[in-house]
Chains A and B, each alone.
Chain A
Amino acid sequence: MPKRTDIQSILLIGSGPIVIGQACEFDYSGSQACKALREEGYRVILVNSNPATIMTDPDMADRVYIEPLIPEALEEIIRIERPDTLLPTIGGQTGLNLATILFERGILEKYHVELIGADYKAIKKAEDREEFKAAMEKIDMDVPRSGLAYTIAEAKKVAGEVGFPLIIRPSYTLGGTGASVAYNIEEFEVLAQRGLESSMISEILIEESVIGWKEFELEVMRDRRDNVVIICSIENFDPMGIHTGDSITVAPAQTLTDREYQAMRDAAIRIIREIGVDTGGSNIQFGVNQDTGRMVVIEMNPRVSRSSALASKATGFPIAKIAAKLAIGYTLDEIPNDITQKTPASFEPTIDYCVVKIPRFAFEKFKGTDETLTVSMKSVGEAMSIGRTFKEALQKGLRSLEIGTFGIENRRLPGIEDPEFVRQKLAIPNNDRIFYIRHALRLGIGIDEIYGISGIDRWFLRNIEEIVEFERELEAHLKGSTGTSGPGEGLPDDLLRQAKRYGFSDRHLGDIAGWSEDAVRAWRTGQGVQSVFKLVDTCAAEFEAYTPYYYSTYESEDESRGSERKKIMILGGGPNRIGQGIEFDYCCVHAAFALKDLGYETIMVNSNPETVSTDYDTSDKLYFEPLTLENVLDIAEREKPDGVIVQFGGQTPLNLAVALKKAGVNIIGTTPENIDIAEDRDKFKSLLQKLALTQPENGIAVSFEEAKEVANTIGYPVVVRPSYVLGGRAMEIVYTEVDLESFMARAAEASPERPILIDKFLEDALEIDVDAVADGEGCVVAGIMEHIEEAGIHSGDSASVLPPYSLDDQVIERIKLHTYKLARELNVVGLMNIQYAVKNDVIYVLEVNPRASRTVPFVSKATGVQWAKVAAKLMAGMRLKDLGIEKEVEVGHVAVKESVFPFNKFYGVDTILGPEMKSTGEVMGIDASFGEAFWKAQLGAGQNLPSQGNVLLSVKNKDKRNVIFIAKKLSDLGFGILATRGTGKVLANNGIPVKVVNKVSEGRPHIADMIKNDEISLIINTPSGRNPKLDEVSIRASAVQYKIPYTTTISGAQAVVNAIESMKRGSLRVKALQDYYL
């Protein structure tokens, strides 16, 4: 069937800020959909609040709106743009939920917008647990026994019927938020209550536990002619009971016979038909009992998902792109397979390798939270790896994580000698369990016992055992090797080759032999043992592949294709983590686009399956590989690129820069030496002295003794941080010597053997972020952002404004001049980010990073210039004047960036902000004035600022004076003012009507009661110091739980008041990005 000609325009909704459970995979799917639909000549209207996405680039859609993802904003956009259709299935759970609301409110009907892909009925049937269960029963599908409840009383009744253990799943949440497991009635009551509260409609499903069963997923696609194909099967290494996002997963399924696999396939086809997803992709999860083979349907996502992104990267079949084409009427057989070109998309990919996905966690950022892995997702990113065997892929995947491990190895974990401790680590799912399996095997705990404790399939365990046994064999040959020609002297030839085929890294082999990685590499290549590259081609080599999408392995034949073109290799950022995520991927993608424009062949290297950079369409060649020195050098040696870009992928590629250069690789842009000057405290200090720029008093220390001395000289409070880390890892503001001591201990863990930097902390200073581009001579400032929170809050966590709203022109000019000077002195070619602090008209240089920063996409969206592209072209040798960029962009609007935090995933963690970054994502609010832009940013970040009600004020002593003005304004705006005793007294003394409320420790009714009773609509609570009082922590935690907007800084509170004022003045207006740049 040809594409539909009765429709002209399509509205797409993105997934908003990066949060746990919803990351850049939806930028990947959304960007693919935009491209696919525009290619067909449709007018595409895109809405997303996340500026760090490729999909919100103004050239991705005809109309791009960076507006909050709320029904009011969407209605306004629909009213203006009048799209014919809405494709709700590419924007994750957020996009799907929003489409549902728009339908339910009659907005789609009012403006005659048709839902394509999945209609309302299908969405409801898949998403509403009761309807889904009924649908499954109708087609004779086995599902876990369960019942719905809307109150605790109902919940208890259902629990009695189903029996323990059971799973509590709130309806309508993403990433399984709020889902939990209860083993007894006591636990159940608490968890059920929490579940009811987190559900959008106060509904929970209480379900028979299938914990410990095998878990599988199928990615299914259907077209309007009812053709259905399975794109990929996925088997979870971790059994049921751990969210699939937190599980190690493997593609394809490994332990199903064809009979079982086909039964699952038949079930998936019946399910997608019964649910009624007309066109597009769905993800269906199954549980299988390993003893009886009983198969139950767990759930279905009637949309593209994290798993579909993984399946796309794992097979080479672009699910989102095809889904978009199907939505506008094509059938699968009418769409060509990009990779083979000659065959159609109506087939089922088959692969000739093994894919392993491993989640990456960030528990170190959220001290005090429960680190047990459960049915609620907690990981912040993932790495995917491809190998010819599971063993190879697993070891490649582990080193792709960039957690300092290079395979199944020791990892210096606690308790590895204690069998009882190890058994416990196997029983309670945790992010190091894979390594404890190694230790268990080494302690002689057998596969059957490990299986019994963990439920992990014996097939996986046996494969790990083979690695462990082989490691032992290597140890026997290599340990204490005294060979002079290389570490492997005496190692039988085939053992080295076998080690590489089992996925052992040079680094790991070196560790075993006591040799350096370099030495192992030299010796290994001398032995002729080198990696080859194979293609990902959707068809297991049955047809020729035209898309150069590669992975490395150790085999006889190499399939990489040389070329005579000028080539540039771009190193990506690896798995998402806090501090390094989509923003860097955005820069890498832009680099690829820009260099393609200039006629270069572009080569992308990355290990993150969620990203746009790992779309085979983004660059000319894609290498899906770990970003380790060994793997990158292997590619560089094969491809011999003319230049390599390390400054766009965050800290990951930067950490490789020096070693790559040493190995003869040409790093383009700012030289590694100059990057090093900016990172090296001493060199940097003399640089600033030379330029007569000011920095906060500072010093450097390796030991606690040294640190103590420095701090005493400078005077407390001081900011302390390890060098060479991103996202403010382990960075803290220290007020006392005791705190300093404990910090030193932790820092040594985060960045061993690196010095600790100690700075004077500038209290109450303004913090300024500057992004600039330079060509070695000239420099242009891309954007100056003023942080809303004062200095001391990590720049990645602070809200910020472009242009600055409280700096005078003269200070801005001086900041620009400082920036030019620094760019020139460091010979910056490409991007540079500088953090300044301004206090009493003195400008302090806090930090200079001659590389892409997290704010580049935000600045690009705010100014209408794609700065990463500009930078890439400069790195390729162009000049600013060639690009017509000779002066700063003046904007006539205001853009506010607000950060989004994962506190709702980490119960009990304090939500205060500090120098260590904790946010996972960001949104942008853009409008004519600061108040409106800030309001939109808050809305985008999920903070529904109130226009009436009560505000609770509770601030530390230092802030008491500043809070008076804020309270006065709020009172004038009609809010009731509540305050804790101390704050209340100050306000009352200043003539503000205030009601004093009890802290939790002061008797009832207290603040927590009032929050629960919905008597508080805004909370302003500043922390009282390094160790916040328990009371404060509980206030902030309740605010997160009950979704009450809160702010923990005075400057943040001022901005909030400003926004509320704007809000009360008028209704939300929307405007396409394209219209801002005119």
Chain B
Amino acid sequence: MMKGFVALEDGTVFEGKGLGVAGEREGEIVFNTSMTGYQEIMTDPSYKGQIVTMTYPLIGNYGVNAEDVESGGPKVEGFIAREFSKITSNFRAQDDLLSYLEKHNIIALEEVDTRALTKHIRAKGAMKAVISTVDHDKESLVAKARASQGIVGRDLVKEVTCGAPYAFDAPAGDPEPPCSGPSVVVMDFGVKMNILRMLKRAGCRVTVVPASTTSEDVLAMNPDGVLLSNGPGDPEGVPYAIQEIRKLIGTIPIFGICLGQQLLGLAYGGKTYKLKFGHRGANQPIKELATGKVYITSENHGFAVDLSSIQNEPMRATHVNLNDNTVEGLEHEVHPVFSVQFHPEASPGPHDSYGLFQKFKDMMEGFTKNKR
């Protein structure tokens, strides 16, 4: 048996059993409460720089497949669960989870008291950590966790954004989308595949560009709208993107998702702050303020926009999280700009807010029509 540890910067160490590859990685320790969708979670680029603990204890039951991925491969720094399944049972499974993790060189731990770990994160906050199967010295591991760079202020986006612009084609099996729909440029801060799929499904033409693309280059593509994608880490770590977004606002419809919302908030002169342990799961209740309707959403964020810090712009909250009343959606009263902190593309999670992609499409079409 390969012993494994996860050591936190506050000196706490949890012991488990290492699976697959041996090694050591640093990252921010976070937990996710989804009971399904581990493959989507580990391949979500927003988890770059993070070690993810699944609160649901039985992981890997249905294996992995080529469809349920949010990017080219796992992005997590480490993956922790109570028990990894020793069998795969699903008609779509192509591989088992452990081989997949091994193939992608991801360290995994099982037999960890993940509930205790989760409670610790809840009480003390998400923090710097080290996951290791090679160093069994607790003190040394804690020292490494303390010395690790953490995610605050760091640019993790550059590690997951695409290298060059590309047109996104509909995935196999999707109904042939009409090509006549609005054209969207997606600024890729670590975009989840399903955002692209949803845009396609709504009938949009989709071009994905690197996070460092300038506003001039974006506008030169003559899009009907810009989508600011999700992505990992601290929004303040990508000042170059904020600058470019500032130039785009007001000129073109913009839809921000997750990190995209935080970058918008910063671009409008506001501030963001770090949540104690964030929102990560598929059961987050969001209230749409205009209608009073509640949507169950998928979320994955550790930072949020402080709406009160946006003082000189008519920005209003459109959604709040009912668990802690944090702002989950923003809309500019003049500019064709809106954003959400949660993930309307779900994957994993409920499809309750799929409608937002249609809203974005309608906004683009209205804007283009008015312009003419």
Chain A contacts to B: CB under 8 angstroms: 225-227, 229, 233, 252-262, 265-266, 289-293, 331-333, 342-344, 346-354, 388-390, 447, 457-459, 462, 466, 494, 534, 539-544, 555-557, 559
Contact = CB atoms under 8 A, between A and B. Distances in A.
B221 interface: no
B68 A257 contact: yes
Nearest to B347: A258
Q: How large is the interface on B (under 10, 10 to 19, 20 to 34, 35 or more residues)?
A: 35 or more
B172 to A, nearest CB: 15
A388 B90 CA distance: 22
Interface string B60-82: 01100101100000000000001
Given A347-B283, A389-B83, A555 B62 contact: no
Contacts of B285: 333, 343-344, 346-347
B89 A255 contact: yes
Interface centre among B114, B323, B347, by most chain A C-beta atoms within 10 angstroms, is B323
A293 B56 contact: no
Contacts of B293: 225-227
Given A262-B350, A333-B294, A542-B33, A458 B87 contact: yes
A555 B296 CA distance: 31
Nearest to B89: A459
A350 B122 contact: no
B346 A352 contact: no
Given A254-B58, A262-B351, A390-B58, A351 B35 contact: yes
A342 B33 CA distance: 18
A555 B87 contact: no
B300 to A, nearest CB: 13
Interface string B320-349: 001110000000000000000000001111
A1040 to B, nearest CB: 43
B302 interface: no
Given A290-B91, A348-B350, 11 more contacts: A225-B293, A254-B58, A292-B91, A333-B322, A343-B324, A344-B323, A350-B35, A458-B87, A540-B56, A541-B115, A557-B113
A576 B58 CA distance: 30
A115 B355 CA distance: 33
Given A225-B293, A266-B351, A291-B91, A256 B58 contact: no
A60 to B, nearest CB: 31
A293 B115 CA distance: 32
A523 B43 CA distance: 46
7 smallest CB-CB distances across A and B, nearest first, come from A258-B37, A557-B116, A258-B348, A462-B87, A540-B55, A459-B89, A348-B283
Given A344-B322, A555-B113, A350 B281 contact: yes
B33 A534 contact: no
B318 to A, nearest CB: 16
Nearest to B280: A542
A556 B113 contact: yes
A544 B324 CA distance: 13
A462 B63 CA distance: 14
A903 B92 CA distance: 45
Contact of B287 (A256, A289, A333, A556): A333
14 contacts: A252-B35, A254-B61, A256-B62, A257-B65, A258-B37, A258-B282, A262-B348, A331-B292, A333-B287, A343-B323, A348-B283, A352-B57, A542-B33, A557-B113
Interface string B254-268: 000000000000000
B213 interface: no
Q: Is the contact region of chain B dominated by helix, strand, or loop, or is it mixed?
A: loop
B296 A542 contact: no
Interface string B105-148: 00000000111101100100000000000000000000000000
A459 B323 contact: no
B284 interface: yes
B92 to A, nearest CB: 7
B36 A258 contact: yes
A462 B296 CA distance: 34
A557 B87 contact: no
Contact of A332 (B35, B119, B283, B294): B294
A459 B118 contact: no
A459 B113 contact: no
Contacts of A254: 58, 61
Contacts of A262: 346, 348-351
A534 B62 CA distance: 27
B86 interface: yes
B66 to A, nearest CB: 12
B115 A555 contact: yes
Contacts, number: 165
B34 interface: yes
Contact of B87 (A289, A459, A534): A459
Contacts of B296: 229, 346-348
A266 B92 CA distance: 20
A240 to B, nearest CB: 16
Nearest to B56: A352
B358 interface: no
B90 A257 contact: yes
A347 B323 contact: yes
A351 B281 CA distance: 12
Contacts of A227: 293-294
A983 to B, nearest CB: 63
Contacts of A388: 57, 82-83, 115
A279 to B, nearest CB: 14
Given A333-B294, A352-B56, A462 B62 contact: no
B36 A540 contact: no
B58 A556 contact: no
Contacts of B113: 555-557
B91 A293 contact: yes
Contacts of A542: 31, 33, 55, 118, 122, 281
Given A347-B322, A457-B89, A458-B87, A257 B294 contact: no
Contacts of A343: 285, 322-324
A253 B62 CA distance: 11
With most chain B CB atoms within 10 A of its CB, the pick from A252, A389, A390, A459 is A459
B118 A541 contact: yes
Contacts of A544: 122
B310 to A, nearest CB: 26
Nearest to A540: B55
Contact of B61 (A259, A349, A459, A534): A459
Contacts of B40: 258
B36 A256 contact: yes
B85 interface: yes
A544 B118 CA distance: 11
Given A389-B83, A457-B89, A459-B61, A347 B55 contact: no
Given A258-B34, A333-B285, A542-B281, A557 B119 contact: yes
A332 B283 CA distance: 14
Nearest to A227: B294
Contact of A265 (B55, B57, B65, B350): B350
A390 B348 CA distance: 23
A555 B114 CA distance: 9
**Which of B65, B67, B293 has the most CB atoms of chain A within a 10 A radius of its CB?**
B293
B351 A259 contact: no
A110 B348 CA distance: 51
B82 A347 contact: no
Contacts of B39: 257
A252 to B, nearest CB: 5
A349 B283 contact: yes
B294 A346 contact: yes
Nearest to A289: B91
Contacts of B114: 352
A540 B116 CA distance: 10
Nearest to A535: B115
A1025 to B, nearest CB: 55
Contact of A389 (B58, B90, B283, B292): B58
A534 B115 contact: yes
Nearest to B354: A266
A324 to B, nearest CB: 19
A496 B174 CA distance: 52
